[in-house]
Amino acid sequence: MRVLVIGAGGVGSAVAGTIATWNLFERVVVADYDLAKAQRAVAGKGERFAAYRLNASDEVALLQLIDAEKITAVLNVLDPRFVMNIFTACLKAGVTYLDTAMSLSTPHPEHPTTMSGLKLGDEQFALEERWRERGQLALCGIGIEPGMSDVFARYAADDLFSSIDEIGVRDGSNMSIRGYDFAPTFSIWTTIEECLNPPVIYERERGWFTTEPFSEPEIFHFPGGIGDVECVNVEHEEVLLIPRWIDAGRVTFKFGLDEQFLNVLRTLHTLGLDSVKEVNVNGKLVAPRDLVAACLPDPAQLGERIDGSTCAGTWVKGTGTDGSPREVYLYHVVDNAWSMKEFGAQAVVWQTALNPVVALELLDSGAWSGTGVLGPEALPATPFLDLVNAHGCHWGLEER
């Protein structure tokens, strides 16, 4: 397999490092608008790796790079603004496409906090027939969340439950960052998008609908020494993916956000600093959200300052295969000190990077295959979870 990784930020660099550590694939190309970042991502990794400068908005340049390097699979780890350009270019090029975040949503114009408008991934699913007709695969949402969380849902449906009442993806951590009062461990651009958009909920009898940001707070107990964390509703792809392939009465996504983090996000929104619409600043056009992102530290460079662990997982309630009520939490915990030692990447970005690498490995071996626009829950869970364990990145299951 010849892989093109588009984006040399935290996740892209961690993808390259993990591929190199595990000695995977015939060729690995890392491309970024900033050539120096791409070069740093492949430095010291051998002749199989190459770096290119690429403007992901330039479809012609992207097609030329795919052709020149004889690429067979493209992994997009840029923020979701670039999804559709890369997605459609891969369709034209006849290559496999993977991403960790799906096409952007647009709130309902009249009822944003009760009715869904354009949903996450809708633009990609609109082209599903074309991908299927061409015999190509677009595997969407294959990070940690969405990604492994969706694989957990598939595993629960296939092996643990005869019927499912509720699937709730829950994400929390006890991480702290020395020297910063506020420093997100993931892209602030994406974090703002997820947290300030109306969250989507799915119910079998109602379909998809929206609610207020940060609604339905609950205390959830996370394993790995993390403990109790307050979680709130956040817009996320799992709620749009899981119901397409798994029958569940209700599907939600809740993220652990402390009060300080919530207050910062609310303040950004109040001041209009979450906007992506450019404003004129002394003759220069600047998007306020881009300015916020530029003012904050790069999450990929925070690893040495982070203490603690992060947990991503899927909480499933229903009827077990023996006919009795059952409730489980399937999860993956990463300790920052461990990921820094093993892969030189902070826990959140490495946990995200792990899953597309495993997916590419399964596609390369033929253990995973398919056509059309698919989410991770459309494919068998066991090969994925077995390979995660085989690499020493163990997942867990708690009866609740």
Contact call for residues 165 and 225 (beta carbons, < 8 A): no
DSSP letters for 133-154: HTT-EEE---BTTTBHHHHHHH
Q: Write out the two tokens for 218.
A: 């609950």
Domain positions in the chain are 2-101, 148-343
- Please report which residue ranges of the chain form alpha helices under DSSP H: 10-22, 35-42, 59-68, 83-93, 122-125, 128-133, 148-155, 188-196, 237-245, 259-271, 288-295, 336-343, 347-365, 381-390
- Assess contact for 94 and 137: CB atoms under 8 A: no
What pLDDT is stored for residue 285 in this prediction? 93
> What is residue 303's predicted lDDT score, i.e. its pLDDT?
86
Total number of residues shown for the chain: 400
Q: What does DSSP say about strands 176-177 and 306-307: parallel, antiparallel, or unpaired? A: antiparallel
Give the position of tokens 């109602």: 206
Report helix angle 336-343 to 10-22, nearest 10.
Answer: 60
**Looking at residue 1, what DSSP letter applies?**
-
15: left (phi over 0), alpha (psi -120 to 50) or beta: alpha
Q: Specify the residue for token string 């489980």.
A: 328
Helix, strand or coil, per DSSP, at residue 380: coil
100-120 pLDDT tens trace: 999 999 999 999 999 999 999
Q: What is the pLDDT of residue 383?
A: 98
DSSP 317-329: EEEETTSSEEEEE
Matching fold, domains 2-101 and 148-343:
no
CATH annotation of 148-343? 3.30.360.10
Looking at residue 190, its pLDDT comes to: 85
Tokens of residue 28, six digits: 């690995």
C-alpha 73: how far from chain center: 18
For residue 30, the cross-strand partners are: 5, 51
Cis check for the bond before 146: say yes or no (omega within 30 of 0): yes
Q: Are 93 and 345 in contact (CB under 8 A)?
A: no
Which residues, given as ranges, of the chain have pLDDT below 50?
A: none
CA angle 47, 49, 53 (to 5 degrees): 125
User: Are 245 and 378 a contacting pair, CB within 8 Å?
Assistant: yes
Q: Reduce the secondary structure of 42-110 to three states and give it as a string.
A: HCCCCCCEEEEECCCCCHHHHHHHHHHCCCCEEEECCCHHHHHHHHHHHHHHCCEEEECCCCCCECCCC
Tell me, which fold does domain 2-101 have in CATH?
A: Rossmann fold (3.40.50)
Query: Taking the model in full, what pTM does it have?
Result: 0.94
